Amino acid sequence: MDYQKLTEVMRRLAIEAGARIMQIYDADDFEVKVKSDSSPVTEADEAADALISAGLRAAFPEVTLVTEEQASSHLAQADRFLIVDPLDGTKEFINRRGDFTVNIAYVDSGAPVRGVVYAPAQGRMFYTLPDGSSVEETGKLDLETVGPLTPIQVATPDNNALMVVASKSHRDQATDDYIAKYTVKDMKSAGSSLKFCLVATGEADLYPRVGRTMEWDTAAGHAVLAGAGGQVVRFDDHNPLTYGKDGYANPFFIAYAPGVELRKP
């Protein structure tokens, strides 16, 4: 994989998809449908998916593409693949809460090694550079001109005063019970893959997910966190969370900054 080209293409497509999403988000009304798994999908999901998929297929025709909104792509199996959630946090989008993201990632041998997470309503964009390190780009987020880049790095956690981030739309008693095993200084709620990015920037130390997710929900955020020095492990045995699993379904997991003393379930 040409990582320089990949970085440029992912960044551009994320910005273009974000602009299309915001056109729909800012409209007076938009269509919401229900998929076969009972999850919601909007015209913004579909428009962003079409844009990103076309761009990735044109730039990397030889690479397998897996995308949430194209069920036929879920049957593909490959050692290396691109994986896309064109609008992660559809419930946040529908409720106009702003915590939704565009997610594009590249997986190699079970690990998400490059990715971009763009939150267009918040104007925050995080991605991996060609060398695998992670940055946050600020400024206008212009298609042609890259703005100021700030390297991001996980914090050094204090196990007697941890910062924890949890899901805004999927918080439940099981999550609260697990968080209670730690000494917590403060809690944040966030939607979509932004939770990974908050750990990556040092704004949080720990993000446990005790609930259903798919690989396209997590791959880009996982890549950004890994590029900032963080880790993502399975909830049950603390082994690394891997990708390319049958059906692309994830087990429960924990994303964290090294130094956090992980608790068993």
- Tens digit of each residue's pLDDT (9 = 90 or more) over 189-225: 888 899 999 999 999 999 999 999 999 999 999 999 9
Residue 206 Cα distances to 194, 244, 256, angstroms: 13, 24, 4
Q: How far apart are CA 7 and CA 22, in angstroms?
A: 22
pLDDT at 66: 96
- Rounded to the nearest integer, the mean pLDDT of the chain is 93
Crossing angle for the helix pair 3-25 and 43-59, to the nearest 10 degrees: 160
Q: How far apart are CA 132 and CA 112, in angstroms?
A: 10
103 with 55: CB under 8 angstroms? no
- Tens digit of each residue's pLDDT (9 = 90 or more) over 227-253: 999 999 999 999 999 999 999 999 999
CATH of range 162-256; options 3.40.190.80, 3.40.50.40, 3.10.20.90, 3.40.50.300: 3.40.190.80
Q: How far apart are CA 78 and CA 108, in angstroms?
A: 9
Q: How far apart are CA 146 and CA 20, in angstroms?
A: 19
Name the one residue in this structure whose structure tokens are 């918040």: 122
Checking if the pLDDT of 73 tops 90, the result is no
Q: How far apart are CA 128 and CA 125, in angstroms?
A: 10
The fraction of the chain above a pLDDT of 90, given in percent, is: 79
The boundaries of every CATH 3.40.190.80 domain in the chain are 162-256
Q: How far apart are CA 76 and CA 54, in angstroms?
A: 17
pLDDT at 109: 97
- Tens digit of each residue's pLDDT (9 = 90 or more) over 1-53: 999 999 999 999 999 999 999 999 988 777 676 665 656 677 899 999 999 99
The boundaries of every CATH 3.30.540.10 domain in the chain are 3-151
Q: How far apart are CA 157 and CA 139, in angstroms?
A: 29
Q: How far apart are CA 215 and CA 250, in angstroms?
A: 6
Mean pLDDT (whole number) for 68-80 = 88
- Tens digit of each residue's pLDDT (9 = 90 or more) over 94-115: 888 889 999 999 999 999 999 9
- 3-151 has CATH 3.30.1280.10 classification: no
pLDDT at 36: 59
Q: How far apart are CA 228 and CA 199, in angstroms?
A: 9
- Tens digit of each residue's pLDDT (9 = 90 or more) over 85-94: 999 988 888 8
Token pair belonging to 38:
């009972």
pLDDT at 191: 84
**Based on the number of CB atoms within 10 Å of its own CB, is 171 exposed (0-12), middle (13-18) or buried (19 or more)?**
middle
Question: What type of residue sits at position 14?
Answer: A
